[in-house]
Structure 1
Amino acid sequence: MSHKKFTIQNNPFVVPTTDGKIIKEHFGNTTNGDSQISIAHMKAPAGWSEPFQTPEFDEYTFIIRGRKQFIIEGETVVLEAGQSIKIEKNTRVQYSNPFTEVCEYIAICLPAFSMDLVNRED
């Protein structure tokens, strides 16, 4: 019997949150123990925001629908559906959705997202 060289993810890990954001990790530390990459499907509700952070991983974001605001080293950037961004590791950033509609997006982190590497500010 041969080993399959692919994995289909039908049951992503739903990360528990307290801020209304829906995070479904398809691949990564919590789903399959992969510390090299994490791929998550996210929905950030209107008015959502996170504290500033300086992650020790590169983060790629692709906006599916809605808009998402990034404050990157003091510069405000707003992305809309169809746009993407790469934020390099060790960059101070704040993510938010100050708009009136849900923002749906895909986030990919290299290496994989972990609370130990995100360095969120209080």
Structure 2
Amino acid sequence: MKKKYTIQKSPFVVPTTDGKLIEEHFGNATDKNNQVSIAHMVAPPKWKEPFQTPEFDEYTYIIRGKKQFIIEDETIILEAGQSIKIEKNTRVQYSNPFEEACDYIAICLPAFSIDLVNREEN
């Protein structure tokens, strides 16, 4: 009988060039699941990404540290224990302008794909 659960013991570590740790537990890179992606991330101090307008809803839960979001024209800072849902097709910039690393969980519906993130050129 096929088991009706999957335990992830070896998440896919996404290669990055900006010092950010991305461990995808479920999603396109790990199990070819394009419905949802779940990743553990650590953004180093002073890290930031370019603005983007993703074609997926993104949920973020902060475990440790702080993370800054510029959503449309509003700046929001979340701390440990707080979470946010950013609706798809919303212009956003993620960053950690602070002195300590930010440890968080990101969930994307549908799953994160570089083809759907729509990052702006610097």
Aligned counterpart, 1:4:
3
Unaligned 5+ runs, structure 2: none
Say if 2:81 is the partner of 1:86: no
Aligned counterpart, 1:55:
54
CA apart distance, 1:106: 0.0
1:28-54 residue CA offsets vs partner (Å, 9 max, x unmatched): 000000000000000000000000000
TM-score of the pair, normalised by structure 1: 0.99
Letter in 2 for 1:26: H
CA apart distance, 1:100: 0.1
> 1:32-111, aligned counterparts within 5 Å?
32-111=31-110
Q: Secondary structure at the match of 2:116?
A: helix
Letter in 1 for 2:14: V
CA apart distance, 1:27: 0.1
2:81 & 2:95 partners in 1: Cα distance?
18
Aligned counterpart, 1:26:
25
Q: Count how many residue pairs are aligned between Structure 1 and Structure 2.
A: 121
**% identical equivalent positions:** 78
Unaligned 5+ runs, structure 1: none
CA apart distance, 1:85: 0.1
